[in-house]
């Protein structure tokens, strides 16, 4: 496994000086509490971290190129593998002990250039930027455990084969999966699918990096590829490993966890951290010295109290290579533990005012040449921007349009006889914008690559029978208590009304649920369409699993492409199909 060559002994004095300057210069948002204070000379360790890379080897465009006004009032243009790699090199320069880690979702939900090739380009990009360790995230399981192991260990794709004349070598970094183990009754029962931790040594002092994904991964991943594994409680898993590793002489611990929260303030602040990560932090063994998180795409640097009242930093670095966190741990050679009152942490914007990394540029050029014949083919035209909603709780023109496309693909009796379709908002990964020109096409022309970026998961369309009562219960699963979790995209002709003031499980008036103006009969059976992710109960929509007489309807991206091809100058689908009562 390749690793960076660190600075030699002749530069030790310069490295120590750089370490001291960097440590003193880090921003912090609170005075850390004390944890095994020491008056001895410490060993400084720079931990650089990011999360939710999602195969973003090219610089993100449009609204994805900025963090947004709340996180970054300057609206600085940021992100992409070429610039993340440069910033990592700049931060490492002159540092004796530097480790680069990530908190999952490095692959999956990727743009066309990486997603088309099952994220081999993303792994090649991460290898070139010298990532050391990462936790798995939910998207690492998008194509199942077997494919994740191929990403780690290498080999050609079992269906597509090799994309070049060289065998895919897999990831140089180690993915960690402490809370993902094979179920009882399977051949590998009780074993984790990937190592639970990795130990690094800095001048003889051990630091354990424990990595895992959120316990709720099965709710947001297609079931077919994870049927043999189970996902365990995050804090309980970490705490058990801490106890085991302490018996092996480890005193310093970093947890890489693909779960997070939201924190008011800018990208380098913390105005209070929300659940679920706050509760996980509260339940985590106080021996854990740093918690690197992800999943929510929210950047924050939060000094939170552990169970003993000592400050422990909880960090997150946005997504798509737009932010990188730098945390300095000071290790006491006597106690072999982190001196908590000397820990500093800050988030850095991955700006584009630096030279693009040449190795990353070469990777982009290589895969772009392979993708161009497919990517640049024009598959449709649009009359204006067709966009996602600002959040996943709001009806969107693009989400409804995808539902329309899936209904069109399955409405004929021979194709499934569907009367309504539903789309999950998390499956809509990019906008269709009129002015975007990605392959020499004209404004308003949509290329295959642009369409792929909207739906990159390779899901299949599924048609099934659901009763009217089941459809009502399905719609109620959009809500959790007094909050709205998700807003399903709905196809043309499907309408309903909801009232947030009503109790959970009764926010929708059954009398308002209609197809083409006809109210649903709770006891009648209706033919409906969705993708296989939702059909397996993804995003917590378990009612879909009650569907009977299932039939496949082809690839979801093909349904969208065919829909656009048949409708030149396509406009956004209306967003008046669902009504919220005041």
Average pLDDT for 552-565: 89
Say if CB 266 and CB 234 are below 8 A apart.
Answer: no
Average pLDDT for 350-372: 97
Calpha distance 306→429 (Å, rounded): 36
Closest CA to 250 of 315, 338, 191, 326: 338
Query: DSSP letter string over 320-382?
Result: TT-EEEEEEEEE-TTT-SB-GGG-EEEEEE-BSSSPPPHHHHHHHHHHHHHHHHHHT-EEEEB
Return the pLDDT at 414. Answer: 85
Calpha distance 410→416 (Å, rounded): 5
Say if residue 564's pLDDT is above 70.
yes
Which H or E run includes 186?
Answer: none
pLDDT digit string (tens) for 257-281? Answer: 999 999 999 999 999 999 999 999 9
Return the pLDDT at 457. Answer: 86
User: What is the DSSP-derived secondary structure letter of residue 157?
Assistant: B
pLDDT digit string (tens) for 480-518? Answer: 988 999 999 999 999 999 999 999 999 999 999 999 999
Say if CB 439 and CB 376 are below 8 A apart.
Answer: yes
Closest CA to 385 of 112, 560, 572, 574: 572
**Percent of the chain whose pLDDT exceeds 70:** 93
Question: At which residue do the structure tokens 């700049």 appear?
Answer: 90
pLDDT digit string (tens) for 276-302? Answer: 999 999 999 999 999 999 999 999 999
Half-sphere exposure of residue 118: CA atoms within 13 angstroms, side-chain side: 22
Return the pLDDT at 218. Answer: 84
Calpha distance 314→277 (Å, rounded): 9
Say if residue 149's pLDDT is above 70.
yes
Identify the three-state secondary structure at position 454: helix
Closest CA to 48 of 420, 304, 347, 333: 347
Q: What are phi and psi of 193, to 5 degrees?
A: -70, -25
What's the chain's average pLDDT? 91
**Percent of the chain whose pLDDT exceeds 90:** 82
The residues, ordered by sequence, that sit 6+ positions from 185 with a Cβ below 8 Å of its Cβ are none
* Long-range contacts of 231-238, Cβ-Cβ distance < 8 Å, separation of 24 or more: 231/179, 231/180, 232/179, 232/180, 232/181, 233/179, 234/179, 234/259, 234/280, 235/280, 235/283, 235/284, 235/285, 236/283, 237/178, 237/179, 237/196, 237/212, 238/178, 238/210, 238/212, 238/284, 238/285, 238/288
Say if residue 16's pLDDT is above 60.
no
Tokens describing residue 156: 């050609």
Confidence of residue 39 (pLDDT cuts 50, 70, 90): low
Start-to-end Cα distance in the chain: 59
Cα–Cα distances in Å, from 442 out to 58, 75, 352, 448? 21, 28, 27, 14
**Dmax over Cα atoms in the chain, in whole Å?**
81
Say if residue 341's pLDDT is above 60.
yes
The residues, ordered by sequence, that sit 6+ positions from 415 with a Cβ below 8 Å of its Cβ are 409, 463, 553
Look at 30-44, 332-346, 390-404, 531-545 and tell me which has the smallest mean pLDDT: 30-44
Question: At which residue do the structure tokens 């001291």 appear?
Answer: 20
Return the pLDDT at 9. Answer: 35
């Amino acid at each position: 496994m390749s690793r960076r060559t660190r600075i030699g002994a002749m530069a030790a004095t310069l490295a120590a000086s750089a370490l001291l300057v960097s440590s003193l210069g880090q921003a912090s948002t609170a005075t850390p509490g004390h944890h095994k204070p020491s008056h001895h000379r410490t060993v400084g360790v720079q931990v650089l971290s990011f999360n939710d890379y999602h195969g973003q080897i090219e610089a993100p465009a449009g609204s994805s190129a900025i963090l947004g006004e709340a996180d970054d009032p300057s609206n600085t243009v940021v992100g992409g593998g070429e610039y993340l790699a440069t910033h990592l090199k700049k931060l490492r320069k002159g540092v004796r002990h530097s480790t680069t880690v990530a908190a999952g979702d490095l692959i999956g939900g990727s743009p066309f250039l990486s997603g088309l090739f099952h994220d081999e380009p993303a792994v090649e990009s991460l290898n070139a930027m010298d990532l050391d360790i990462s936790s798995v995230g939910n998207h690492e399981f998008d194509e199942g455990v077997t494919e994740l192991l191929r990403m780690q260990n290498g080999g050609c794709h079992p269906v597509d084969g090799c994309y070049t004349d060289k065998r895919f070598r897999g990831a140089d970094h180690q993915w960690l999966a402490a809370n993902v183990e094979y179920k009882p009754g399977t051949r590998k029962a009780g074993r984790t699918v990937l190592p639970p931790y990795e130990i690094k040594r800095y001048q003889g002092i051990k630091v354990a990096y424990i990595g895992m994904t959120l316990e709720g991964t099965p709710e947001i991943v297609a079931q077919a590829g994870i049927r043999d594994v189970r996902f365990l409680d995050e804090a309980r898993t970490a705490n058990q490993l801490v106890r085991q590793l302490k018996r092996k002489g480890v005193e310093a611990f970093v947890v890489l966890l693909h779960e997070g929260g939201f924190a008011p303030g800018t990208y380098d602040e913390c105005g209070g951290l929300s659940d679920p990560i706050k509760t996980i932090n509260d339940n985590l063994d106080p021996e854990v010295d740093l918690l690197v998180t992800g999943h929510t795409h929210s950047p924050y640097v939060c000094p939170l109290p552990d169970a003993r009242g000592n400050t422990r930093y909880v960090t997150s670095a946005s997504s798509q290579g737009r932010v990188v966190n730098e945390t300095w741990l000071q290790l006491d050679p006597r106690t072999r533990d982190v001196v908590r009152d000397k820990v500093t942490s800050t988030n850095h914007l991955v700006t584009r005012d630096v030279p693009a990394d040449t190795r990353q540029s070469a990777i982009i050029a290589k895969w772009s040449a392979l993708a161009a014949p497919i990517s640049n083919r024009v598959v449709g035209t649009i009359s204006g921007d067709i966009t996602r909603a600002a959040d996943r709780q709001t009806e969107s023109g693009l989400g409804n349009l995808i539902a329309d496309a899936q209904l069109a693909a399955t409405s004929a009796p021979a194709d499934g006889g569907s009367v309504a379709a539903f789309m999950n908002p998390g499956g809509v990964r990019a906008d269709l914008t009129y002015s975007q020109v990605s392959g020499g096409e004209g404004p308003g022309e949509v290329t295959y690559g642009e369409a792929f970026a909207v739906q990159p998961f390779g899901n299949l369309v599924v048609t099934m029978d659901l009763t009217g009562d089941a459809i009502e219960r399905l719609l109620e699963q959009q809500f959790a208590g007094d909050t709205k979790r998700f807003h399903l995209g709905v196809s043309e002709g499907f309408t309903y009304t909801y009232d947030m003031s009503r109790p959970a499980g009764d926010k929708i008036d059954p009398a308002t649920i209609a197809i083409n103006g006809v109210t649903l009969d709770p006891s009648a059976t209706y033919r409906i369409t969705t993708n296989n992710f939702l059909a397996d109960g993804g995003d917590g929509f378990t009612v879909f699993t009650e569907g009977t007489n299932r039939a496949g309807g082809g690839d979801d991206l093909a349904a969208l492409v065919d829909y656009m091809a048949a409708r030149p100058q396509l406009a956004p689908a209306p967003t008046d199909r669902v009504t919220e009562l005041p």
